[in-house]
Amino acid sequence: MTIAFVHGVPETTAVWDLLVAELADVGRPMVRLEPPGFGAPLPEGFTPHPDAYGAWLVSELEGLEGPIDLVGHDWGAGHVARAVADRPELVRSWAIDCGGLLHADYVWHDTAQVWQTPRAGEEALAGMVAVPTADLTAAYAGLGLPEAIAGSFAEAMTEEMATAIIGLYRGGAQPYLGGLADRLAGLEQPPPGMFITASDDAYVSAALAAEGAERFGVVNTVIEGAGHWWAASHPGEAAASLRAFWASLGGA
């Protein structure tokens, strides 16, 4: 039985460091999957787009030993939702944050809308790439990330990541998320799911996540006082929630 983690934007697998450490006693293999462009190189011929990332994740899951419990954060949550919609039989369960992304009323946050805008997005991301690593590390740390994780994000902010961000966000502009939500809701036998809802996530409303959880019939676990990077700020609570969810399925 494998636990697989998928991170988001503009991140690396370091976002899972503290949570994985908390889960070390579960006695199961844990794998951190790296979306192309986000800690892993963009393969030749790979065009960043939600469809391509969905296919990438399905391919990764096909190579893992099952049953698989899949966990996604940020755009990783979107990739997980896409993989479950496409191939629900590949996983025993799925758990994601940012559940409000799948709500009919979700509107992309301001930074995402800039990235989705031709020319403005390229200019904004070129500015991020040009920021010295030490300064970008400090900026991420100022958002509440531990310095080691912040530094990993900063070092990975390259022109290649900028290219991946542009393709992913522009392909994910609405109505993409709405269509994905409809596909998930229409599954005849969906695997059990859980939303990990950070009460103070600045990018996705906790209220939308709660309503979405009802639509999809999934557990909604709220981590009070947590922001977007709950896995780093509240790893103990997050690990306890995941253990309880997996135990409810017949074994952690």
Residue 76 located in a structural domain: yes
SS3 192: coil
Residue 131 located in a structural domain: no
Residue ranges in the chain whose pLDDT is less than 50: none
pTM score over 0.85: yes
pLDDT number for residue 52: 98
pLDDT number for residue 1: 87
Domain range for 37: 2-108+174-248
User: Per-residue pLDDT tens for 201-252?
Assistant: 999 999 999 999 999 999 999 999 999 999 999 999 999 999 999 999 987 7
Q: What is the CATH number of the domain that holds 178?
A: 3.40.50.1820
Q: What are phi and psi of 70, to 5 degrees?
A: -105, 135
Sign of the torsion formed by the C-alpha atoms of 148, 153, 154 and 156: positive
User: Per-residue pLDDT tens for 45-61?
Assistant: 999 999 999 999 999 99
Beta strands at 2-6 and 68-72: parallel, antiparallel or unpaired: parallel
pLDDT number for residue 184: 97
Our measurement of the distance from residue 69's CA atom to the centroid of its chain's CA atoms, rounded to an integer in Å, reads 14
SS3 35: coil
The tokens of 139 are what?
């900026």
Residue 73 located in a structural domain: yes
Residue 153 located in a structural domain: no
Residue 89 located in a structural domain: yes
Amino acid at 115: W
Residue 160 located in a structural domain: no
What is the maximal distance between C-alpha atoms in the chain?
50
* Total count of domains within the chain: 1
Report the half-sphere exposure of 223 (CA within 13 A, side-chain side).
Answer: 26
Residue 223 located in a structural domain: yes
**Beta-sheet strands, E only, within 30-107:** 30-33, 68-72, 93-96
Taking residue 26's Cβ as centre, other Cβ atoms within 10 Å add up to: 18
Residue 113 located in a structural domain: no
